[in-house]
């Protein structure tokens, strides 16, 4: 009986804590959503916390007129290209570190992991000088490269840890059947490690989509700006129109929210699998 009471108290405490965090993190989004349907006049008259008295769509029209579709396109090109390259390179490198024996593999792996401790913002000047020498300034490739290089250490660490837990007997059986290392990688290792690879892809997507400093340094013209830069420009033009600014924030965050809602199961499975295996 005592155990049942303790379990009931734990469940109640858990739901109270979950409700607290739901309100804490969900309230700003709900406020932004309702604010985007208010006019500047309604906002100035004091209706900040309440529901909009009349549905006002002009904020969305203002945002879409401000080249937001171009910024969306640029962010999609940069983000998906960087995520694909990071995931592909990290998967191949992790397979080599985890399953293939070669000299200095431990040292090379350690040097790559050390890259996790280097903030990307401390390398802005060298990256800019390199892009300038290679004539990559104001080009998408000039920021895709740095994104991939700084996303690789974490991705390699996660996927390598996952690959190491795959039994060697599976690989040996495939070798006996005449499978090449590439065939083993694509037919066996990749399907097995989908949770870990998906986790890396999702985390990198969130990071690349919201990145600001490197994009601001490397991209000079508005037609090349990604969404964070476009939102900054829109804020400069509409600094007084708070509902319009919050509408731009809402539109800019929707892809990330939707992506995470549909992919959160993969993230949880990947992280929990890594925790159990580690």
Residue 55 lies in a domain: no
Residue 88 lies in a domain: yes
Q: Give the C-alpha distances (Å, rounded to integers) separating 63 from 53, 72, 78, 237, 270.
A: 21, 12, 21, 11, 36
- Check: CB of residue 241 under 8 Å from CB of residue 38: no
- Check: CB of residue 152 under 8 Å from CB of residue 112: yes
DSSP symbol at 118:
S
Instruction: Count CB neighbours of 12 within 10 A.
Output: 10
Residue 56 lies in a domain: no
For the domain that residue 85 is a member of, what is the CATH number? 1.10.3720.10
- Check: CB of residue 259 under 8 Å from CB of residue 210: no
Q: What is the pLDDT of residues 211-270, one digit of tens each?
A: 999 999 999 888 899 999 988 888 877 777 888 888 888 888 888 777 777 766 666 665
Residue 40 lies in a domain: no
Kindly state the average pLDDT of the residues 150-170: 88
Task: Say what the pLDDT of residue 169 is.
Answer: 82
Which residue did the predictor score with more confidence, 271 or 23?
A: 23
For residues 195 and 98, membership in a common domain is answered with yes
Both tokens of 169, joined, read 């007997």
6: three-class secondary structure by DSSP = helix
Residue 46 lies in a domain: no
Confidence of residue 271 (pLDDT cuts 50, 70, 90): low
For residues 23 and 85, membership in a common domain is answered with no
Rounded Cα gap, residues 11 and 54, in angstroms: 41
Q: Range of 9's domain?
A: 2-35
Task: Say what the pLDDT of residue 250 is.
Answer: 86
Instruction: Count CB neighbours of 128 within 10 A.
Output: 17
The pTM score is: 0.81
For residues 115 and 219, membership in a common domain is answered with yes
């Amino acid at each position: 009986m005592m155990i049942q009471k303790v379990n009931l108290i734990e469940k109640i405490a858990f739901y109270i804590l979950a409700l607290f965090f739901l309100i804490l993190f969900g309230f700003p989004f709900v406020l932004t959503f309702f604010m985007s349907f208010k006019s500047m006049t309604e906002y100035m008259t004091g209706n900040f916390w309440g529901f909009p008295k009349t549905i006002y769509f002009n904020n969305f029209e203002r945002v879409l007129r401000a080249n937001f579709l171009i910024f969306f396109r640029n962010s999609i090109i940069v983000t998906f290209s960087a995520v694909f390259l990071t995931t592909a390179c990290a998967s191949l490198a992790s397979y080599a570190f985890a399953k293939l024996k070669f000299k200095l593999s431990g040292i090379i792996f350690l040097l790559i992991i050390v890259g996790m401790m280097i903030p990307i913002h401390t390398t802005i000047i060298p990256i800019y000088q390199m892009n300038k020498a290679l004539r990559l300034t104001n080009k998408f490739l000039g920021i895709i490269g740095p994104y991939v290089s700084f996303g690789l250490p974490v991705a390699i660490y996660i996927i390598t840890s996952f690959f190491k837990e795959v039994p060697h007997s599976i690989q040996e059986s495939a070798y006996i059947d005449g499978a090449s290392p590439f065939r083993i990688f694509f037919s066996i290792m990749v399907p097995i490690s989908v949770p870990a690879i998906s986790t890396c892809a999702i985390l990198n997507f969130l990071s690349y989509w919201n990145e600001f400093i490197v994009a601001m340094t490397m991209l000079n013209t508005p037609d090349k700006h990604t969404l964070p830069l476009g939102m900054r420009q829109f804020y400069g033009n509409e600094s007084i129109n708070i509902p319009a600014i919050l509408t731009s924030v809402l539109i800019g965050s929707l892809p990330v929210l939707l992506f995470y809602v549909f992919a959160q199961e993969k993230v949880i499975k990947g992280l929990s699998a890594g925790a159990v295996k580690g």
